[in-house]
Amino acid sequence: MTNPITELFNIKYPVIQAGMIWASGWKLASAVSNEGGLGIIGAGSMYPEVLREHIQKCKKATTKPFAVNVPMLYPNLEEIMQIIIEEGVEIVFTSAGNPKTWTGYLQEKGIKVVHVVSSVKFALKAEQAGVDAIVAEGFEAGGHNGRDETTTFTLIPMVKEQIKIPLIAAGGIATGRGMLAAMVLGADAVQVGSRFVASHEASSHQAFKEMVVKAQEGDTMLTLKELAPVRLLKNHFFEEIQELYSKNPSKEDLITLLGRARAKKGMFEGDLDEGELEIGQIAGLIHDIKPAAEILHDMIREFEEAKAEVAAL
Ligand SMILES: Cc1cc2nc3c(=O)[nH]c(=O)nc-3n(C[C@H](O)[C@H](O)[C@H](O)COP(=O)(O)O)c2cc1C
């Protein structure tokens, strides 16, 4: 498969394993890259020196291209970017911040920069900032998201209509059928998050992976819009948020309830009641925990089958 994204990243398949806090370390990223997709190390949950270790291990585990995702809302940004440059990372996915801040600087060092957006407005801003490609992420997606509730099905064609640079679709894609749909809507590639959480190589806690597999339609919700909107599984912590909302809370009340390290507690330490369990709506279609290589190859096989089905219409 050759298209603007496979050429930009020098990869075999237009499938990108999303950068995800507490899930995508070097094991997952290198497993996906070795099979011809693009693996991403999620720097958001790593101290700078931990990130360096993951990059070094990833370089040992694969000779194929891989990327690092940097959510720009976390501290130590300068140090993180310095490590990325020193370690010779070739591709960076930035999210949750202004793409103008780092794009030019990273590109001067020969790094390709992709920025994640959740609206047409921000896609245009990212294009103006000079990024090499855009990830447009719909409301269905797991993790932090936009406030506008624009679904992948509507966002992708709207962004496609406005921008000229390569476009990657994210949010609600876990199968080859979903991948084909996104590409018919105008995407050059897909970024897949939730499906890869339920993989052997994801660093997420086993109990969280099992809860993802058990999740049904309607078991996730986007909440905490006043802070940073996030889609998560409805557990005891989620119920506490709902209860607080019924009392018309201030932003400070929400910050106090969220506290510190909720995401680590839930997704990494496996506290399914009190932790923040980030996952997308598509969890309802994830029925097993399997090797990342199998996830990728199943997707590509289903994509080809679905393409043939559609061609025969
Ligand atoms: C557990 C989890 C953690 C995530 N962490 C990040 C992150 O650190 N940075 C980021 O840009 N996006 C993050 N996301 C969003 C993903 O990168 C991706 O865009 C999204 O999962 C795609 O939607 P899907 O879950 O429906 O596949 C996260 C998603 C999940 C499920």
292 contacts 31 by C-beta, under 8 angstroms:
yes
* Per-residue pLDDT at 75: 82
Query: What single letter denotes the amino acid at residue 48?
Result: P
Run of H or E including 189:
strand 189-192
Verdict on whether the full-model pTM lies above 0.85: yes
* Per-residue pLDDT at 74: 80
Alpha-carbon gap, residue 86 to 48, rounded angstroms:
12
CA of 38 to the centre of ligand 1 (A): 15
Burial 28-64 (b: 16+ CB within 10 A, else e): bbbbbbbbbbbbbbbbbbbebeebbebbebbeebbeb
Integer-rounded Cα radius of gyration of the chain? 18
CA of 141 to the centre of ligand 1 (A): 7
**Probe residue for ligand 1, chosen from 20, 51, 73, 267 as the CB with the greatest number of ligand atoms within 8 Å:** 20
Q: How far is CA 217 from CA 7, 141, 244, 260, in A?
A: 36, 13, 24, 29
DSSP 275: S
Kindly list the protein residues whose Cβ atom lies closer than 6 A to any atom of ligand 1. Answer: 18-21, 23, 42, 44, 69, 71, 95, 116, 137, 140-143, 170-173, 191-194, 197, 267, 278-280, 282
234 contacts 219 by C-beta, under 8 angstroms:
yes
Query: What single letter denotes the amino acid at residue 219?
Result: D
Query: What single letter denotes the amino acid at residue 284?
Result: G
CA of 18 to the centre of ligand 1 (A): 6
Beta-sheet strand order (sheet of 167-170): 15-17, 189-192, 167-170, 133-137, 112-117, 91-95, 66-71, 39-42
pLDDT in tens for each of the 313 residues of the chain?
A: 899 999 999 999 999 999 999 999 999 999 999 999 999 999 999 999 999 999 999 999 999 999 999 999 888 999 999 999 999 999 999 999 999 999 999 999 999 999 999 999 999 999 999 999 999 999 999 999 988 999 999 999 999 999 999 999 999 999 999 999 999 999 999 999 999 999 999 999 999 999 999 999 999 999 999 999 999 999 999 999 999 999 999 999 999 999 989 999 999 999 999 999 999 999 999 999 999 999 999 999 999 999 999 999 9
Query: What single letter denotes the amino acid at residue 181?
Result: A
Q: Which domains does the chain have, with CATH numbers?
A: 4-203+286-311 (3.20.20.70), 213-282 (no CATH)
* Per-residue pLDDT at 52: 98
Residues paired with residue 117 on neighbouring β-strands, in sequence order: 136
